[in-house]
Amino acid sequence: MPDRANTLLGFDYGERRIGVAVGHRHTGLSNPLTTVVNQGNQTNWTALLTLIEEWRPDALVVGIPTHMDGKETEMTKRATAFKDALAARSQLPAHGADERASSRDAEHIIANNRKQGRRRASKGDTDKIAAALILQHWMEQHRA
């Protein structure tokens, strides 16, 4: 297990799947970790809290979607509610992060990987790569 000092977990919230990434402030890097599949429309809290227990992060970062002009959407409210519930259940600070274009950027990364002959992507790959991009962007904006 990696050094847990200044470890962060990032989340790309979706109603069906939640992408998860891990990052470390001392390196400034994030990596896709996994994708948690929700049960129906219910958040899979067991899987999420197991990841938090395993990685023991200092804080959590959740992507909050908005329109490109910054206006809120229905998913903005759902992702914010998820962030608040995640903080309450984990007893950790949870920060919201701008996630505009993260899924699109993740799809570009996957497409480029395919062009280079790497394996085919699964549905969850986009989610965990988007989580890594969200977390990376947040760390870049919050360097100490």
The tens digit of pLDDT for each residue in 27-39 reads 989 999 999 999 8
In a domain, 18, yes or no: yes
User: Using CA atoms, how far apart are residues 134 and 10, in angstroms rounded to an integer?
Assistant: 7
Average pLDDT, the chain: 84
User: Using CA atoms, how far apart are residues 95 and 110, in angstroms rounded to an integer?
Assistant: 27
pTM of the model: 0.82
pLDDT per position as a tens digit, 51-82: 999 999 999 999 999 877 878 888 899 999 99
In a domain, 1, yes or no: no
C-alpha dist (Å) from residue 118 to 64, 113, 114, 115: 30, 5, 5, 7
The CATH number linked to 20 is: 3.30.420.140
pLDDT per position as a tens digit, 77-92: 999 999 999 999 999 9
Q: Quick one: tokens of 121? A: 């992507």
Percent of the chain scored above 90 by pLDDT?
Answer: 57
In a domain, 22, yes or no: yes
Our count of domains for the chain comes to 1
Residue 115: give the domain boundaries: 7-141
Rounded to the nearest angstrom, the gap between the alpha carbon of residue 64 and the centroid of all alpha carbons in its chain is: 10
